Amino acid sequence: MAAPCPLQSYQAEPGWKELIAGDAFGYQPLFVSGDPSGNRIRVRYFVHTKDRRLMCKAWFGPGSQGPPGHAHGGSISALMDEAMGFAAWVAGNMVLAAKLTINFRDMVPVDSILTCEAWVEDIQGRKITTRSRLFSQDGTTCSDGTALFLKLSPEKFGIARPGEDDA
C-alpha cells in the first residue's frame, strides 16, 4: 500500500499553470513522475506564466530513502534530471541528456514536499544548458544542478514533425 501523500492537495501557486507531463510529451508517463500513487516520488509540474520556468512540487516518500530518514541522492538526481529535461522540452527543444551535475547542499527528509524549479540557461546550436534548484518549504536549497542536453530531431523520438500527414 502506498504511503499517504498530501501532494495532491497542492494547488498551483499564483502565476503557475499545471502541466501534465504525459500530455506534454504525447506518450507514456515519465520515469520519475509517472507513478502518482507510488511510495517513492510523486510530482506535480507547473509552468511559471511570467518567466516560463518549470516548477514542480515533489514528495519524497519512504521508497526514496537512502540514509535513514532521508531521500537517496539518486532519487533527488532523478527528479532534477527529469525537471531540467522537461524544462528544455517545454521551451520547444526535443533533447536527450549528455551531462548532469547535481550539488547536494542539505539532506531531504523522507515524507517531505519540496519545490523544484528548472529553466533553460543557454542555447548554442544543438547544445541546451539547463539549471535547477530544489528547495524546502522554508526556502533552504537542498540541491542545485546543471545539465547539458543535446537537441535531436523529432524523428529520433519517433515523433512526426508538426504539419506532417500521419496517413
| Tens-digit pLDDT profile for residues 33-52 | 656 667 889 888 999 988 88
In a domain, residue 125? The reply is: yes
Q: What percent of the chain is predicted at pLDDT more than 90?
A: 57
Q: Which residues pair with 42 in a beta bridge?
A: 59
Confidence of residue 166 (pLDDT cuts 50, 70, 90): very low
pLDDT of residue 106 exceeding 90, the answer is yes
pLDDT of residue 29 exceeding 60, the answer is no
Query: What mean pLDDT comes out for the span 70-74?
Result: 96
In a domain, residue 164? The reply is: no
In a domain, residue 3? The reply is: no
In a domain, residue 162? The reply is: no
Spell out the residues 6+ positions from residue 101 whose beta carbon is closer than 8 angstroms to its own: 145, 146, 147
In a domain, residue 4? The reply is: no
Return the pLDDT at 20: 72
> For the chain, what is the domain count?
1
**Given the C-alpha cell 500530455, which residue does it identify?**
23
pLDDT of residue 2 exceeding 50, the answer is no
In a domain, residue 85? The reply is: yes
Which residue among the candidates 23, 51, 81, 138 is catalytic per the annotation? 81
Length of the chain in terms of residues written = 167
Confidence of residue 140 (pLDDT cuts 50, 70, 90): very high
Confidence of residue 71 (pLDDT cuts 50, 70, 90): very high
In a domain, residue 139? The reply is: yes
pTM, to two decimals: 0.84
Report angle CA 93, 14, 121 to the nearest 5 degrees.
30
The Cα 137–Cα 36 span in angstroms is: 21
User: Range of 131's domain?
Assistant: 13-157
CATH of the domain at 19: 3.10.129.10
Return the pLDDT at 119: 97
In a domain, residue 166? The reply is: no
Establish whether 81 is a catalytic residue: yes
